[in-house]
Amino acid sequence: QKEVEQDPGPLSVPEGAIVSLNCTYSNSAFQYFMWYRQYSRKGPELLMYTYSSGNKEDGRFTAQVDKSSKYISLFIRDSQPSDSATYLCAMSAFWGAGANNLFFGTGTRLTVIP
Amino acid sequence: GAGVSQSPSNKVTEKGKDVELRCDPISGHTALYWYRQSLGQGLEFLIYFQGNSAPDKSGLPSDRFSAERTGGSVSTLTIQRTQQEDSAVYLCASSLARLGQYFGPGTRLTVL
């Protein structure tokens, strides 16, 4: 079983829709949860990060963590064509640079249709 | 400010040849990571540097892969005797003590 599971999609939605992207994980030690956005032929860029359970909002983006279910989500409101990208979740048990301590999902490819 | 840069952006090579991929991290970032990204496979961790030392090489897939970092800055990933299964996008990331890693655009390697 992989440490982090993520539905690869692809996911296509009409412009303005609410998008829900999800990951599940198996390691209960994970405490730090990140979402990266990767445009085609670009490197991933850090979108949001959260610590432990709860919600975090940044503009049209909301990150949600449910540690009891080992489930994290990223919601995108009023989705735009410019949101079309691959979204990768990542998580870690530790804060701070070090070793192979960041575990990534495989990414969900999202297309927002104008 | 400048982000992480990688060169070349694309590399096509013949099976059996050696290749060198370069990463210039963000100035001042002490941690540097190499990942490999294959279609549908997600990010595969290869190696991590703290300064010039590599405390974790556990992700290197074989002894054909090696990496070094000099002056606490530029890093080179070398793949010897390339194989077709080495074809992938090789991503470099750097960070400070914080967890957020900043990625470069990657080098797309194609082994014919």
pLDDT score of B22: 98
Q: Decide if A101 contacts A92 (C-beta within 8 A).
A: yes
Q: Does B59 touch chain A (CB under 8 A)?
A: yes
- Nearest CB among A43, A46, A97 relative to B97 is that of A97
Q: How close, in Å, is residue B18 to chain A by CA atoms?
A: 23
pLDDT score of B87: 96
Lowest mean pLDDT among A10-14, A36-40, A99-103, B52-56: A99-103
Contact at CB, A97 and B59, closer than 8 angstroms: no
Q: What is the DSSP letter of B25?
A: P
Q: How close, in Å, is residue A74 to chain B by CA atoms?
A: 17
pLDDT score of B16: 97
Question: For the residues A36-47, what does the mean pLDDT come to?
Answer: 92
CA distance B29 to A37: 21
Q: How close, in Å, is residue B92 to chain A by CA atoms?
A: 9
Q: How close, in Å, is residue B97 to chain A by CA atoms?
A: 5
Lowest mean pLDDT among A14-18, A97-101, B64-68: A97-101
DSSP codes joined into one string, B59-101:
T--STTEEEEE-TTS-EEEEE-S--GGG-EEEEEEEESSSS--
pLDDT (tens, 9 = 90+) of chain B, 112 residues, equals 589 999 999 999 999 999 999 999 999 888 899 999 987 677 888 998 888 888 777 889 999 999 999 888 999 999 999 999 999 999 999 987 655 788 999 999 999 9
Query: What is the enclosing helix (H) or strand (E) of A23?
Result: strand A19-25
- Nearest CB among A8, A92, A96 relative to B40 is that of A8
pLDDT score of B52: 85
Question: Tokens for A99?
Answer: 């070793």
- What lies within 8 Å, CB to CB, of A60 at 6+ separation is A76, A77, A78, A79
pLDDT score of B97: 62
Closest residue, chain A, to B60 (C-alpha): A100
Lowest mean pLDDT among A75-84, A101-110, B2-11: A101-110
Q: Decide if A62 contacts A56 (C-beta within 8 A).
A: yes
pLDDT score of A93: 85
Contact at CB, A102 and B45, closer than 8 angstroms: yes
Higher pLDDT, A41 or A110: A110
CA distance A57 to A49: 10
The model's confidence at residue A97, banded by pLDDT at 50, 70 and 90, is low
Question: For the residues A26-49, what does the mean pLDDT come to?
Answer: 92
Q: Does A46 touch chain B (CB under 8 A)?
A: yes
CA angle B56, B61, B64 (to 5 degrees): 100
Which has the closest alpha carbon to B47: B9, B73, B76? B76
Contacts of A104 in chain B (CB under 8 A): 42-43
